Amino acid sequence: MESCPSLSHYTVGVTRQNISNRVLQEINTHSAEETIAFGRTLAGLLVPPKLVLFRGDLGAGKTTLVKGIAAAFVAAAEEDVTSPTFTLVHEYRGPNATLYHIDLYRIDTTRELETLALDDLRSENSILLIEWGEKFPWLTAERDVEISFERTGETGRTIRVSA
Ligand code: ADP
Ligand code: MG
């Protein structure tokens, strides 16, 4: 049977559309500033409501990308976006969306996750930007967009946006 190029990006056997894996955008950045600039371009894609998972090692650039996204939504200045590693959830309100920047690095159990009540943050107007969300399968299943980071050197990063 001939392969169908237009379907080849989809994960075989996955029935839920929002866990398909079509790469929408891919970019190589060479500095934090370039990653922030790329984040600024993503506001058009991230129309609320959205649940976005960020995948990548510590220091890969996940929080750096959120700086650009928050700035584009006029929800926070770049320098005001910091890692929610300890506070777990940061809220940034813009005129067209409320962004919730969430870091689950320190969250290990479903019970701990429940205390964050992430479902209560989801609304017509909200965008959840979640680092380390892949630790919990239901979040992977619920995500609308995934942004993955790969190091390609000291300051090189390949960033892929999938939906
Ligand atoms: P994460 O949230 O994935 O743990 P951060 O965004 O907090 O990572 O940190 C990324 C670090 O890497 C920052 O110190 C940033 O200045 C640095 N960096 C170097 N090159 C890049 C790049 N191309 N993109 C993003 N960050 C970069
Ligand atoms: Mg981070």
| The residue count for the chain | 163
Give the strand pairing for 126-131 and 98-103.
parallel
For residue 74, give Cα distances in angstroms to 43, 57, 77, 99, 127.
Answer: 10, 27, 7, 10, 13
Banded model confidence at residue 12, pLDDT cuts 50, 70, 90: very low
Distance 103 CA to ligand 1 centre (A): 15
Query: Hey, whose CA ends up nearest to atom 18 of ligand 1?
Result: 32
pLDDT tens, 37-48?
A: 999 999 999 999
pLDDT tens, 13-58?
A: 344 445 568 999 999 999 999 999 999 999 999 999 999 999 999 9
From the CB of 83, is ligand 1 less than 6 Å away?
A: yes
Q: What pTM was computed for the model? A: 0.88
Distance 72 CA to ligand 2 centre (A): 18
Percentage with pLDDT > 90 across the chain:
85
